[in-house]
Structure 1
Amino acid sequence: MDAVGLQRALREAVDGEIRFDDGSRALYATDASNYRQVPIGVVVPRTIDAVVATVEQCRRYGAPVLSRGGGTSLCGQCCNVAVVIDFSKYLNRIVALDPGEKTARVQPGVVLDRLREAAEVHHLTFAPDPATHSHNTLGGMIGNNSCGPHSVMGGETVRNVIELDVLTYDGTRMVVGATTQEAWDLLCARGDRVGAIYRSLRKLRDTYADSIRRHMPRIPRRVSGYSLEALLPEYDGNIAHALVGSEGTCVVVLEAKVQLVDSPLARSVLALGYPDVYRAADHVTRIMAHHPIALEGLDDRLVADMKAVGLHTGDIGLLPEGKGWLLVEFGGKDKGESDHHARTLMEALRGEDRPPTMKLYDDPVVERHLWRVREAGLGATAHVPNRKITWEGWEDSAVPPDRLGEYLRKLRALFEAYGYGCDLYGHFGQGCVHTRIDFDLESADGIRQWRSFLQEAAKLVVSLGGSISGEHGDGQSKAELLPIMYPPDLMRAFHAFKRTWDPANKLNPGKVVDAWHVEDNLRLGVDYDPPEQPVHFHYASDNGSFPHAILRCVGVGECRKAEGLMCPSYMATQEELHSTRGRARMLFEMLHGDVLQDGWRSEAVHEALDLCLSCKGCKGECPVKVDMATYRAEFLAHFYAGRIRPREAYAFGLIDRWARIGTRMPGLANLLTHAEPFASAARRLAHIASGREIPNFAATSFRQWFARRASRPSPGRRVLLWPDTFTNAFHPDIARDAVAALELAGYAVDIPPHALCCGRPLYEFGMLDRARAYLRRVLEVLHDDIRDGTPLIVLEPACLSVFHDEMPDLLAGSAQARRLRQQSTLLADFLCAEEKSGLFPQVETDAIVHPHCHHRSVLGLDGETALLDALGVRYRLLDSGCCGMAGAFGLHPARQGISMACAERVLLPAIRGAAAQTLVIADGFSCREQIRQNTSAVPLHIAQVLRLASERANRENGDIAP
């Protein structure tokens, strides 16, 4: 195929982004499955007409087409050697929402939670809600016939689709839905391609109707094969329903009309504990008789793995006693009604011989925490310490709910026969079981064993009247198993259905029917052998292996969400390349080496990592703890090895040295950085955007002030205050206020005898050898204090995160590094841990709190919020993510737009909209600079809030403030 010609034709005909470069092709080579197929190219269309034009040009050149949304599919249906059409960036509108009719019209790229948020305004919702609801798209849900916990309330996606506007590969566009017999007759009489499609579908229906009725399981969850039952008269001959779950193999979906259902105004969650998951499963049908709106199950192995990986450990304690659990949710018009439904079930269960343990929750916050336990399944089981990596492959089988207990017992016996270990959880109310299994997908014997297991597992689930797929579809990983589930005539019917829509076999070929074998196109496979790399970090959680660390990303796509901290650059650009997942995939492709062949010198990988703000949001929020900030620093260290770095690397990476000079002559330094023509020259030299300001050096640095102050002997415990580079040089008042607070609390405050730097700016530029030297210097100078257990109080969260995160990994094996990690803390955490927060007067004021990204993701906010509570501050904790400044990131001319997009998402509008007297609290230096340079607010550090409390108390007492 003439890929160059196709690319040229697409650029001329399509209103969209045409990407045939190696980096883009590598980026879209995998989904969340075991498979990898490098696409021909990627098109990101801006309009529906652009989609039509894309298919037209692909048809001219004979290129296959793959429709794609969030790319979270687990069975390989979102990767192919095809032109990938990514709907998620632009075609993501809710076209219309009719609350009276309870319907919505949506484009394929709409994220489910955006639709649910818009519907909730009218007390409506879209019932199916997979665990990926924060970032999966409606187009993907239609392609896979997605479900989720609340399919109990409203059915799978297929039950909630009314009409589809679809396009065939040959260019035929049509709207399909329920079809009466009269409409069938009229449509079949047409002489065009639409008429031919309907005639073919009617012939298929009439030929295979009896077999469809006999052999397609009537169970709540069957997402295997095509939904041919929808063609039958008793299903209204609904062509849209027949196409739901076809995984892009038959048509391209351009728009959908979907059904909305009433959203319960109140919800109550009842947690039930059982001796094991099997007895929990035995209870499912009795509980379903009470009509819950969701019924989920999980076993003790999942809970143990969550503890092992440190995922939602605080939420696990909400579960009642047991080793297998059911989470039962009831809805109602108010709390009284939803609680009544739950209590009725509790009374019924108490009457049994061996009732389960029970806990009823009706606090929405607590309920969300419980659901987080269940939704964490994939993240908790993919990478468990000291265990093999687990994979998809048999992750969503389903049986009739009344046979679920029997199935789980037999399935566990099959796992044990093959030596597989895994957890069991899922949508038990509909008989759907989720699990990830430690398959060996890298050796010939392991792959043969995997294939054998799949055959036996398929026979087991079919013997119980079940389905090999109950939620995730067929793609490639299940397609080969369909003949075990369906007789030959139904397999012929599936082929006929595919040929009716796509006779040229150009839409997502090799999936569902005429599919690749299960062991083909493996992302790993017998040829997977990336060489171990000489690296700077030790990757202790990944067996010391950088390639193993890069396998952490399983493609779940949590980094594509629109709230929280991860991933700020994706939120700003909506580009897969700028998601944590996209960057992890580029690093995997770098190691794979066939598409990206330049290794550590890859410009494509450098481009992917360039807009990473190193916020560490992924380490805190990614369910499998991908640590992109560390991978980025590692890559940059190798990328620039033996090269001259950009000049800003030396300007900002070595800021501690320049700041040390500036504090000796602050007047001259401020003249050179703020007075023209020197200021413009300084900005050009350091590569600073013209709209950005360089902070002023303080007239007296903190270290200078501390050396000159009168000695204040204190009988209290000695503590060290860390005068970080930025606080010392630019905001010494913060450190002075911290000294006052600590002395008020009864401590003798000292500082390190020499100027030290944690080296945080060095990581942004991959200057890791120098960073390691900085850390060794810290350990050397603080040697005696570390040995003595002297607390080290740190004011800048970014500095403390070095001691807690980078330092143990760069200096693995250092007992001193471990000790420093244990005894270094933030000011608020220290005061609260020492129970000193009550010593400070009440402020009783309103405040907006913007946590530094490392504070939120690595260190935790408990101390800060506890101190603010103790001070009586009425605060709003912003879900603002990274401020966008991120050290030198926001100063760079090419990154200023992304920086401001991050800040304008939540942070800056919240500050501008607050009352004038509202405090703005931000402990991070970069955060305060972003706020200061873009609003009229004067942001405060928590130490300054403590000073305000003291001053206010002094004024009220008639004292003179210190």
Structure 2
Amino acid sequence: MTGSLEAALRQAVRGEVEFGSSTRAVYATDSSNYRQVPIGVVFPRDTDDLVAAVRVCADHGVPVLGRGAGTSLAGQACNVAVVLDTSRHMTRILEIDPVRRTARVQPGVVLDDLRRAAEVHGLTFGPDPATHAWCTLGGMIGNNSCGTHALYAGKTVDNVESLTVVTYDGEVLELGAYDDSAYAAAVVAGGRTAEVLGGLREIGRRHEALVRERYVDIPRRVSGYNLDQLLPDSGFHVARALVGTESTCVLVAEATVTLSVSPAHRRLVVLGYPDVFAAADAVPSLLGHGLLGLEGFDETLERQMRDRDLHVQHLELLPPGGGWLLAELGADDPAEADARTDAFTAALPDGVAWRRFDDETDQRRVWLVRESGLGATAIRADGRHNSEGWEDAAVAPERLGEYLRAVTALWDDYGYSGAWYGHFGQGCVHTRNDFDLHTEQGLRDYRSYVERAADLVVSMGGSLSGEHGDGQSRGELLERMYGPELVDAFRQFKAVFDPRGRMNPGKVVDAYPLDSSLRFGPDHRVVRPHQQFFALADDGGSLQTAVERCVGVGRCRRDDAGTMCPSYRVTRDERHSTRGRAKLLAEMFQGEVTPATWRNDDVREALDLCLSCKGCQTDCPTHVDMATYKAEFLSHHYARRLRPRVMYALGLLPWAARAATAVPRAANLVLTAPGLSQLVRRAAGVTTARPAPRFAATSWRRTRSARDHARTSQPTVVVWPDTFTDAYSPEVGERLVELLERLGERVVVPEQWGCCGRPLYDAGMLATARRTLAGLLDVLQPWLDRGLPVVVPEPSCLSTFRDELPGLLPDDPRAARLASLARSPAEQLLASSRLDGALAAAPHDLPERLVIHPHCHARAGAAAPADRELLQRLGHEAEVLDAGCCGLAGSFGFDAAHEPLSRRIGEESWLPQVRAALGDDRLVADGFSCRTQLDHLGGPAATDLVTLAWQRLCDGGQGRPAGVRGD
């Protein structure tokens, strides 16, 4: 049947239809505890495609599931069904009406895209979960999402005006609110809409008394279907009744939503309390001040952020305490915003520590602490997972302190622990706990705990879910909250739209057991750690444990900030996101959907477009390190067999460069001569669409100066002649040496050749990399023994010293020693006690504004902040650009198979952001790859930081350094 279904879908749908093992593996999980392998995935291009796909599925009697960003936390976004993913193509904002304050959108629109478009009119879509930069409106409607600003703007349900939906029988319905006249007109018109409205009105009439009795009146009642919207005093709002149904009834094809006024001037007050319980107790007294948001978190979250090294630098902004509240106020008039904030702080009782932030940058830093909740709590310091399962209940704000104390006491009964964070102002607080889901006894304890917690929250007049929905985590518990009659009314509601029960079955209504289909349940296959190249010390030496760090947060789907994931930003293919690759690797170890073998082609193909930019190493909240995983996988995938020829051509570049620097004129002739160059490069699998970088006329190592510095007596610092600086940019090395000497250093430049082997990692040539690194340590050992700093001009090589080196040679104490001594030029210059004096004595032109584009590996290796600090010390105003990866990524863009994607990343994603940020300012780019990509794509001129500092301190302020010109 699957074959005929796939064929029928391909014939009926214009969008992509993917039934392959790799796609099914990637879509087998969401952000929850659950795992269910889909039948296949369809990426509809529009409403017609949605209808066509659903009709084919209905003809074959198979279930369907609508999915947005796949970040659901209750299991509602995975199922044994045909998944309809609207996030690839159905991403248009169709209309914004600033007068009516509405927007009409397709379901795949990312929330922040809508918010940016609305901000032009001083408006916003109020609900904003922590995933606002990548979650979709369709997913928010499915889950009835809320977020920080639901405090003043309401939940998603409060902001939906009408919906265009597709039912399982392929009907397209336009649904909204119906007063008596609108209802009568719809009934007269007949058809499926009249049938639906009649059925729903009868459900509302029959169950009105129970709905009024059992639907709790709290800000965050999200659990269950919104039968209260069918009551007369709610305007018989059918569209809102469908919000939160998690695609168990219909698929959303289009939505008209309400936009809220977005206060132009905002203030943030952070309050510190002795503990989280005292913070919760204080909430009711703060709500009368017209707050835009009131969030909170505890000291456990702060500690876990430190353990995960996640936004630790921002924690310094918090006032003293063990529990914190973040109160946001605002107005369109700055004076009014100040007045409201002054009144708020004046009303605070004595003894409450607080800090106020008016600056937007500082506010954003504090909000990043709060938004780190899921990422910081997902993985424990010992590498074990904390899991969702009871992380979303809500109570009245007046009872929040009582609720938190009661659940914390319940933790003690079971030996659980967790952090508290979330929407304190509306009584909805999240947590993740160290449940044992791996053993039968652990599962029995988990079920017992969840049932007791459910009874507790119901006894307090609360809701099982306050934001994330019911799905499978809470679906079977709904009777405890609503009773059997209303749960049966939910079945009737679903049957009006989906009488065959094929829409996302087993979620919310007649839900699968909450302790079944678990991703890490007792049947989860744990592979004994094998012999690996990388130590993976934080993951017990296990690649499986490492890839299972991914909990599906989805930040790698973000495309407006950060570095990861450049290939996903262009392809929009989940398999080419960091999350998708991690999930596929994890599925490889299970061996159910994709083969459990290192020869796995699904994994190889997904990793093939990984640029090894290391963006995920810093951008991912759980520190998934895909560049390392890729290198490790490829080392086993190609063990004892030949690699593609391009891997040898590019992976062995350092050795080729070493030979070429002996005869640079002949080497350049081979690389540039018409006919010969194309023949050589095509034979090697290297692109002919780019000019080959030209070797310098004299390499750095072969200059008289470098040879003189190789014999420096009693040196104080080592400057490492990395392959890229040595072969292509020797002037940078020369200027760096001159700079350091101007500051009183005695510089030694090693004469003996060595290399970090940076290009080897992209090809997984790790045995060679180990030998190369051991040789490099031999070269540097005399200076390592003396504890001299080693300055590395090229960011990617510095990153290798700090990252791959200790990871590949964990038992060689010299590796850790070099990692600790390695410095970027900026770091070393800033460490000089003579820098300020030299700057004071050096003439300089008027300060200029500079924009820094950090190399991706500099970001990952924590070297980038020093660049900005040095430029500021040089007298410039410096902005660090957040434009992502340039797309060249070392050897990636020179691979003929990868060159088109590399160019697209540069031209469509990276370069427009560079140009927009640059204006009339000057660009600073230290990475060889970044400057090469600028040149190849006709980008703006760029200079490097060493040259700028050299110009100021050593060149007498004469002239401007030459940049890499792209015009």
Instruction: Please report how far the alpha carbon of residue 835 of structure 1 lies from its aligned counterpart in structure 2 after TM superposition.
Output: 4.0
Q: Is the 8 A contact 2:738 2:954 kept in 1?
A: no
1:720-739 alpha-carbon deviations (Å, 9 max, x no partner): 11111111111111111111
Q: 1:589 aligns with which of 587, 590, 593?
A: 587
Query: Which residue number corresponds to residue 960 of structure 1?
Result: none
Equivalent of residue 433 in structure 2, options 431, 434, 437: 437
Question: Judging changes above 3 Å, is the alpha-carbon distance between structure 1 residues 911 and 364 closer, same or farther for their aligned structure 2 residues?
Answer: closer
* 1:836 to partner: Cα distance: 4.4
Which residue does 1:286 correspond to in 2?
Answer: 285
Name the structure 2 match of 1:561.
558
Alignment of 1:539-550 (within 5 A): 539-550=536-547
Find the counterpart in structure 2 of residue 7 from structure 1.
6
* Deviating more after overlay: 689-698 vs 759-768: 689-698
Aligned to 1:889: 892
The offset of 1:899, in angstroms, is: 0.9
Q: What does 1:58-97 correspond to in 2, within 5 Å?
A: 58-97=57-96
Equivalent residues of 1:850, 1:907 under 8 A apart = no
Please say if residues 633 and 766 of structure 1, whose CA atoms lie closer than 8 Å, have aligned partners that are also in contact: yes
The runs of at least 4 aligned residues of structure 1 exceeding 6 Å deviation read 711-716, 913-917
Q: Any gaps of 5 or more consecutive residues in structure 2?
A: 961-967
TM superposition shift of 1:459: 0.4
Contact 2:51 2:171 in 1 (8 A): no
Residue matched to 1:656: 654
Q: Is the 8 A contact 1:272 1:357 kept in 2?
A: yes
For 2:543, the aligned partner's letter is F
Q: Which amino acid aligns with 2:947?
A: Q
* Structure 1 Cα separation of the partners of residues 259 and 326 of structure 2: 24
Instruction: Kindly indicate whether the alpha-carbon contact (under 8 Å) linking 1:932 and 1:939 is maintained by their aligned counterparts in 2.
Output: no
State the alpha-carbon separation in 2 of the partners of residues 6 and 725 from structure 1: 54
Instruction: Give the aligned residue type for 2:388.
Output: E
Find the counterpart in structure 2 of residue 866 from structure 1. Answer: 869
- Aligned-pair CA distance for 1:717: 5.2
Equivalent of 1:672, from 659, 670, 673? Answer: 670
In structure 2, distance between residues paired with 1:204 and 1:325: 44
Alignment partner of 1:266 is 2:272: no
The match for 1:483 is 479
Within a 5 Å distance, the mapping from 1:613-692 to structure 2 comes to 613-692=611-690
State the distance in 2 between where 1:432 and 1:711 align.
Answer: 64
Secondary structure in 1 matching 2:778: helix
Deviation at 1:677, TM superposition (A): 2.2
Find the counterpart in structure 1 of residue 15 from structure 2. 16
Q: Tell me the distance in 2 between the aligned counterparts of 1:127 and 1:191.
A: 36
Residue 241 of structure 2 aligns with an amino acid whose one-letter code is A
- Residue identity in the other structure for 1:282: D
For the residue of structure 1 that corresponds to 2:146, the secondary structure is coil
Query: Paired residue for 2:322?
Result: 323
Matched residue, 1:303: 302
Distance in 2, Cα, partners of 1:696 & 1:550? 39
Match of 1:928, as an amino acid?
R
What secondary structure sits across from 1:171 in the alignment?
coil
Q: Aligned residue for 2:377?
A: 381
Question: 1:654, 1:761 within 8 Å by CA — same for their partners in 2?
Answer: yes
How far 1:386 moved relative to its partner?
2.1
SS, match of residue 440 in structure 1 = coil
Asked if the contact 1:797–1:855 (Cα under 8 Å) also holds between the matched residues in 2, the reply is yes
* SS in structure 2 at match of 1:174: strand
Q: Give the C-alpha shift of residue 952 in structure 1.
A: 5.6
Alpha-carbon distance between aligned partners in 2 of 1:91 and 1:888, rounded to the nearest angstrom: 34
Q: For the residues of structure 2 that align with 1:382 and 1:643, how far apart are their CA atoms?
A: 39
Q: Please show how residues 480-629 of structure 1 align to structure 2 within 5 Å.
A: 480-532=476-528, 533-562=530-559, 563-629=561-627
| Equivalent runs, 1:36-435 vs 2, <5 Å | 36-189=35-188, 191-350=190-349, 355-386=351-382, 388-435=384-431
Listed one character per residue, the Cα deviations across residues 302-349 of structure 1 (whole Å, up to 9, x for unaligned) are 111111111111111111111111110001123322222222122212
* In 1, Cα distance between equivalents of 2:941 and 2:44: 43
Counterparts of 2:315 and 2:276, CA distance in 1: 16
Inter-CA distance 836–590: structure 2 relative to 1 (3 Å threshold): farther
Return closer, same or farther for 1:912/1:686 CA change in 2, 3 Å cut-off. farther
Partner SS state of residue 43, structure 1:
strand
Partner of 1:749: 747
Instruction: Provide closer, same or farther for how the CA distance between residues 936 and 74 of structure 1 changes in structure 2, counting only shifts above 3 A.
Output: closer
Instruction: Report the secondary structure of 2:661's partner residue.
Output: helix
CA distance in 2, matches of 1:692, 1:327: 51
TM-score w.r.t. length of structure 1? 0.97
Q: Structure 1: any 5+ residue segments left out of the alignment?
A: 958-962
Aligned match of 1:768 in 766, 787, 791? 766
Residue 932 of structure 1 is matched in structure 2 by 935
* 1:893 positional shift: 2.2
Going from structure 1 to structure 2, the CA distance change for 1:103 and 1:38 (only over 3 Å counts) comes to same
Please give the secondary structure, in 1, of the residue aligned with 2:416: coil
Percent identical: 48
Contact 2:106 2:255 in 1 (8 A): yes
Q: Deviations over 1:890-939 (max 9, x none)?
A: 11222122211221245434666798985432111111111122226443
CA positional deviation for 1:782 = 1.5
CA distance in 2, matches of 1:5, 1:555: 32
CA contact (8 A) 1:40 1:83 kept: yes
Displacement, 1:711?
6.5
Q: CA deviation at 1:489?
A: 1.0
Which letter maps to 1:923? D
Deviation of 1:193 (Å): 2.4
The change in CA–CA distance for 1:710 and 1:785 in structure 2 (over 3 A counts) is closer
- Give the C-alpha shift of residue 955 in structure 1: 3.7
Q: Distance in 2 between matches of 1:7 and 1:141?
A: 29
Deviations along 1:254-281, one digit per CA (max 9) or x if unpaired, are 0000000100011101111111111110
Letter in 2 for 1:853: C
Q: Give 1:914-933 correspondences, 5 Å limit.
A: 918-933=921-936
**1: CA distance, partners of 2:105 / 2:479:** 35
CA 1:113 to 1:914, structure 2 compared with 1: closer, same or farther past 3 Å? closer
When structure 1 is superposed on structure 2, of 137-146 and 883-892 the one drifting more is 883-892
**C-alpha contact (below 8 Å) 1:757/1:774 kept by paired residues:** yes
Whole-Å separation in 2 of the counterparts to 1:500 and 1:916: 57
Q: Whole-Å Cα distance in 1 between the matches of residues 639 and 714 of structure 2? A: 49
Of stretches 479-488 and 866-875 in structure 1, the one that deviates more from structure 2 is 866-875
Aligned twin of 2:964? none
Corresponding residue of 1:946: 949
- Deviation string 1:564-616 (CA, Å, 9 cap, x unpaired) is 11111111111111110000000011011011014211111111111111111
| Structure 1 residue 395, shift from structure 2 partner | 0.9
Rounded to whole Å, the distance in 2 between the matches of 1:109 and 1:782 is 54
My pick for the range that moved more, 712-721 or 888-897, is: 712-721
TM (norm. structure 2) is: 0.96
Describe how 1:810-825 pairs up with structure 2 within 5 A: 810-825=808-823
Give the whole-Å Cα distance in 1 for the aligned partners of 2:433 and 2:209. 37
Matched with 2:963 is none
Tell me, in whole angstroms, the C-alpha distance in 2 between the residues paired with 1:443 and 1:915. 56
Q: Which is worse superposed, 411-420 or 714-723?
A: 714-723
2:803 alignment partner, SS class: helix
Tell me what 1:801 maps to: 799
- Partner amino acid, structure 1, of 2:466: G
Asked whether the 8 Å contact 2:297–2:420 carries over to 1, the reply is yes
Q: Secondary structure at the match of 2:943?
A: coil
Give secondary structure in 2 for the equivalent of 1:720: strand
Alignment-mate amino acid for residue 931 of structure 1: L
